[in-house]
Amino acid sequence: MALTPDLSQHTILITGAGRGLGRSMALRLAVCGATLGIVDVDAAACEAVSAEIVADGGQALALPADVADREALLAVAAQLAAHTGRIDVVINNAMLLRYEPLEAISAETLTRMTAIGINGTMWGAQALLRHYDPQRGGNIINMASPVANRGYPNTAAYSVVKGGIVTLTKVLAAELGPKGIRVNALSPGSVPTPGALGLNDPAEYERRSRTIPLRRLGHEDDNSAACLFLLSPEASFINGEILHVDGGIAAAG
Ligand SMILES: NC(=O)c1ccc[n+]([C@@H]2O[C@H](COP(=O)([O-])OP(=O)(O)OC[C@H]3O[C@@H](n4cnc5c(N)ncnc54)[C@H](O)[C@@H]3O)[C@@H](O)[C@H]2O)c1
């Protein structure tokens, strides 16, 4: 039976929710009753996902914003909090997925990827801190990756950002735990989302699926199910965890 925690009292801000893993998590959370703030730099995608949730009987607000822009992200968070009274969960999912060999990485690319992944995650955490209810506690879920802990060639910019997000997750778990805020990360592996398909061609995915210990690629639903678990009461003592949802990629090394 699918895990369906009652999230009807939860307001959740989720970034990069216009497509891929973010969209999948948002749809699943909405089915559990949560009110979603759908943040994406792609305003049309943001509107489309929000409309999809509402058409399905759920509750969502389209909140177009660039997570790298602190004031913009805090402004849409304030808009969501004004609508529901508070924010219980922030899911820092937005990222620019790009693999390049070291010599091709430009200052602009590195700055942009860092600004989205590291700064954006930091601003998302600040948004939760501003708007959570200390009586109820809060939750932050960040998005890590197996690349954070291994040396995959041609992924320097992306991997170092994901490594930073892992460190940030642990720091914030320790720093915000006493305030009743749990901070964890999901670490999905090899899910052929629109963004990831820009990194690997189908042949590479085919090859990779044969090397994953569970012998299949990840699916968006695998990650969404783990997200639901982290937000469920069953996970109430889990803090600072990097939850691998990768069929064993990280374990196999
Ligand atoms: N797909 C995988 O295999 C995989 C594996 C490990 C980790 N991840 C992580 O999961 C997350 C989602 O990845 P995905 O595969 O769904 O990617 P995706 O590219 O399909 O979706 C990313 C979404 O983020 C949005 N976005 C990008 N920059 C933004 C910004 N500055 N502000 C707001 N929104 C922005 C995009 O418009 C897009 O809708 C990312 O953090 C990624 O690093 C994915």
CATH number of domain containing 87: 3.40.50.720
Model confidence at 10: pLDDT above 90? yes
Confidence of residue 155 (pLDDT cuts 50, 70, 90): very high
Counting atoms of ligand 1 from 1, which one is nearest the CA of 218? 3
Residue 134 in any domain: the answer is: yes
For residue 45, the ligand 1 atom closest to its alpha carbon is 39
Cβ atoms < 10 Å from Cβ of 146: 22
pLDDT of residue 99: 95
The arithmetic mean of pLDDT across residues 209-222, rounded, is 96
Q: What's the domain count of the chain?
A: 1
- Ligand 1 pocket mutation, candidates 193, 205, 219, criterion most atoms within 8 A of CB: 193
The pLDDT, as a whole number, for residue 166 is 98
The residues assigned a catalytic role are: 158
In a domain, 209, yes or no: yes
CA 240, 244, 248, 249 dihedral sign is: negative
- Please list every protein residue whose CB sits less than 6 Å from any atom of ligand 1: 15-16, 18-22, 39-42, 45, 66-68, 93-97, 116, 143, 145, 188-191, 193-196
For residue 253, pLDDT over 80 is answered with no
Summarize pLDDT for 70-123 with one digit per residue, the tens. Answer: 999 999 999 999 999 999 999 999 999 999 999 999 999 999 999 999 999 999
Q: Which domain holds residue 237?
A: 11-244
Mean of per-residue pLDDT scores for the chain: 96
Instruction: Please report whether residue 191 resides in a domain.
Output: yes
Does residue 4 lie in a domain region? no
C-alpha 216 to ligand 1 mean position (Å): 21
Look at residue 119 and tell me if it is in a domain: yes
**Atom 9 (ligand 1) nearest CA:** 143
pTM of the entire predicted model: 0.98
Look at residue 6 and tell me if it is in a domain: no
Spacing, Cα 85 to ligand 1 middle (Å): 28
Q: What pLDDT is recorded for position 1?
A: 59
The CA 67 to ligand 1 mean position distance, Å, reads: 12
The DSSP line for 17-80 is: TTSHHHHHHHHHHHHTT-EEEEEESSHHHHHHHHHHHHHTT-EEEEEE--TT-HHHHHHHHHHH
Distance 32 CA to ligand 1 centre (A): 23
**Per-residue model confidence (pLDDT) at position 199:** 84
Query: Could you tell me which residues are beta bridge partners of residue 14?
Result: 38, 91
Which of 76, 97, 159, 204 most suits a substitution to test ligand 1, by most atoms within 8 Å of the C-beta?
A: 97
Within the chain, strands assigned E span: 11-15, 35-40, 59-64, 89-92, 138-143, 181-188, 242-245
Give pLDDT tens digits for 120-138: 999 999 999 999 999 999 9
* Confidence check: pLDDT of 12 > 70: yes
Neighbours of 216 (CB within 10 A): 12
Residue 238 CB neighbour total at 10 angstroms: 14
How close is the Cα of 76 to the center of ligand 1, in Å?
A: 19
Q: Which two tokens stand for residue 241?
A: 């965890």
Measured from the Cα of 186, ligand 1's closest atom is 7
In a domain, 1, yes or no: no
41, part of any domain: yes
The protein residue whose alpha carbon is closest to atom 36 in ligand 1 is 16
Give dist(CA 178, CA 144) in Å, integer. 23
pLDDT in tens, 28-87: 999 999 999 999 999 999 999 999 999 999 999 999 999 999 999 999 999 999 999 999
Give 137's DSSP letter: B
